[in-house]
Structure 1
Amino acid sequence: MTFSITANDPQSKARTGTLTTEHGPIQTPIFMPVGTAGTVKAVHQRELETDIDAEIILGNTYHLYMRPGLEVLNQAGGLHGFNGWRRPILTDSGGYQVYSLSNTRKIKEEGVTFKSHIDGSKHTFTPEGVMDIQRTIGADIIMAFDECTPYPCEYGYARQSMEMTHRWLGRCIDRFDSTEGLYGYKQTLFPIVQGSTYADLRRQSAEVIASKEREGNAIGGLAVGEPAEEMYAMIELVNEILPADKPRYLMGVGTPANILEAIALGVDMFDCVMPTRNARHGLLFTTEGIMNIKNEKWSRDFSPIDAGLGGYASTFYSKAYLRHLVKSEELLGGQIASLHNLTFYLWLVRQAREHIAAGDFVAWKNEMVVRLMQRL
């Protein structure tokens, strides 16, 4: 994998770049649609490629390990062969999912023991095992195994967790560097900065991660309930330490405003379930603000969902028709809304790239943050 910066904003830390993998290039800043179980919910691969123009999608180690399982994935030639997606894939290590299984998990130095959310069976994830699982899944970019701490989190626990995450990282690197990909193309490993919202811990973790000199780095453990101002402070601190010539991935973030503010702080890559999860509940992100399509006011509005956005789903269907589908609990309603929201998120980062290149990103960002968060 290679990464080259193509433009720097003169008034912020925002930059554009090209991240190149063996499954194709990725223009940054980029938003990665989340395909937890091998699919972006309610969206065909063809729609992701042709309608939304997603350059990379995300899969999840925990869920793919559970279903369909490693034997099936291996026989299919990895996730690319299984789901037919021809562009790059990133896999989360499953650390966040294990974090969410707080009632059944047990964390030790060796790894994490937990019970399946499907059938209650017992499993163990170790750093070495997670590397092997992600080798089998075959993503272009794979994540180190870490512990995601909750918010709020006591300082002592945050420190112990961070130090264990660093030890786990050493084991991940040893396993990754001593093995090869299974499907004839190279994979790359991203370490993850932790440390909760404690500045000294975040600084220490960023220094450890930077010292590993991997091809890219991630920032984890944020967007778990902390105030936005604290999240932005941690991002700014960490990005002052992580090498500027490597891509920076902010995990699990977030709202349009979160993404724009983090781009201004030097983040290059994002993922979040929000576009598709909100879509299934009738909440739409548009170029003019946030729309609850269930509201009665849209019942006789026959104008396009978002004429200013472009894209098939956003311009072909009317607000009234989408409202009818969502209120009737028709499956097509969730599909159209998901297509629309993902189109919006990819539009947003493309617009950001254009304004960074033009040198007026900050003024545009400040205007958009206000506009996009207003309720229609």
Structure 2
Amino acid sequence: MTNTEQKLKERVKELTCLYEVTSIIVNSNYDELETSLEAIAHCLKRGWQFAEAAAVQITIGDYQVQTKNYGNDMVSHSSDVKIFNKVEGRITVGYPSAEFSVTDFLDEERTLLKNVCLAIGNLMERKHIRDSEEETKRQMERADRFHIMGEITAGIAHELNTPLANILGFAELLVENTGDEATRRDLQKIIDNAIFSREIVKKLMFFTCEMPQEMEQIELNAVVENVLRLLAPSLKAKQLNIVKSFGREHIQMRANTVQLTQVLFNLIMNAAYYSPPKGAIHIELDKSNDRTIIRIADEGQGIETEHADKIFEPFYTSKPTGEGTGLGLSVVHGIVRSYKGTISHRPNTPKGTIFTLEFPKI
């Protein structure tokens, strides 16, 4: 750069670039960050001494944007983007190597690049904080919903138990005292439906952790094998392949056999229901010093994002009418919670869902 006028012109370009980048960041929509990063890349291009030849690439986490003339064979200068003092990305500005060299980068441009990286790092930190606050809020709202639902369902379960017991008892008494076959068939329908309703009440009580627990030391591997035997006809009908991965040959945990069977039965049954024919269901068991871990993965369509927070709610189901009560996963959640454990889900690769259960040492 040969004269003061040119130097001043470059300083104005750099300050304008920094002002534009700051304005973009201030007005950024956290849900459309890629658009903001693209705008910042074009601002940086205009801020360099040889703007027409300059090219920019911004890479941060899952985001990667670049101007159309960016190439890997360029002579370039880079600066790291730090988020909470950890390098999470990089911004690179380059020129075509056939026409330029590293000496064509100005010291002021290097300073500008560092300032832009700092500003973008601050933006990403604010996004992380916002996302964390929203996740915490969702978890609190979900916990409140479960608490309210628990109180409601516990009340419903207790209120329904007595009339259901009366219906079942009197219907069985009438069956014994009637000789008319048509009447006996009708009474049997009443009994069957009363038993079905009683099972729903039991599931509601499982959800609210109202069922008595008789805990004992059990072998988890054996419980899984027993559940697979129970589900063998359903698995065979869809020609599903069960892939077992047991971290140990014998994994012991303290639990109620009936409850743990119900948890595994529901999760594997759901995996089978949503799996495509000839698909695979992966069952993984492992144990560390203080935690027992169960993972069940399917290759179905997965859980849609808008439904992710609802699947453990009572009576919520994505199955067609008549194919599910919507209590299976809520029962699983209630039992796992009563063991002071956790249950979570995440997408499988390339498709499907992985449910993870973690039980602390009891």
TM more than 0.5: no
Give the TM-score normalised by the residue count of structure 2.
0.22
| More RCO (CA 8 Å, sep 6+) | 1
More helix per residue: 2
Query: Which of structures 1 and 2 has the bigger CA Rg?
Result: 2
Give the TM-score normalised by the residue count of structure 1.
0.21
